[in-house]
Copies of this chain bind each other. A is one copy, B any other.
Amino acid sequence: MAAGGAAKLRIPQPKSRAGPVVAVRWRMGRFLSTFQGRLDSKGRVSLPAAFRAVLEADGHPGVFLHPALEQPAIEAGGNRLLAEIDGLIGRFPPYSEARDLMATALLGQAEIAKLDPEGRLTLPERLKAHAGISQSLVFVGLGEKFRIWAPEKFTAHLEEATSNLRAVRAGLSRSG
């Protein structure tokens, strides 16, 4: 369900930096776990309280949303996600076509959804269409960001993710 047939951009890898940064990150709130939600008659969904708390700590007004690059899902987050996107785009040479493509895909298609006083948000039609969401949906925490899926699509994706994890684990135990 992931990499469609479309040609994939080769993403420049960041300089190796693993340890310390990671340790710091764990101190911050992360999006994790999955929650189900439903659009009400006005098209609103309440963002799970746990996610709301992470966003508030992050200090971003509203929720930053953009279509996931390779999945029929919406990616969402706050300042941390934005920073990561900036970093990703910044790794491509200025004025390169690849950079334009990335920026167009990630920023050009983005939206910012406001939360109402009860913590609900309304998903833009375009993004709902991209994710194939009609009434029910699931919020899936991925650490610095989260995704919004149509339940059926997520089920399939989760299977892929799980078998991928099994493969990685197997690889790890062989190599130590």
A residues sitting closer than 8 Å to B (CB atoms) are 2-3, 11, 13-14, 18, 22-23, 25-26, 30-34, 50, 69-70, 79, 82-91, 93-98, 100-112, 124, 140-143, 147, 157-158, 160-162, 164-166, 168-169
Out of B26, B33, B82, B97, name the residue touching A70 (CB < 8 Å). Answer: B97
User: In the complex, are the beta carbons of A79 and B26 less than 8 A apart?
Assistant: yes
Distance in angstroms between the alpha carbons of A69 and B25 in the assembled complex: 25
Main DSSP-derived SS at the A contact region: helix
Out of B82, B91, B111, B140, name the residue touching A33 (CB < 8 Å). Answer: B111
Distance in angstroms between the alpha carbons of A29 and B88 in the assembled complex: 18
User: In the complex, are the beta carbons of A93 and B141 less than 8 A apart?
Assistant: no
Chain B residues near A164 (CB-CB < 8 A): 98, 101-102, 105
New contact pairs (11) apart from A33-B109, A108-B142, CB-CB < 8 Å = A26-B79, A69-B165, A70-B97, A84-B94, A88-B168, A101-B161, A102-B161, A102-B165, A102-B168, A103-B142, A104-B158
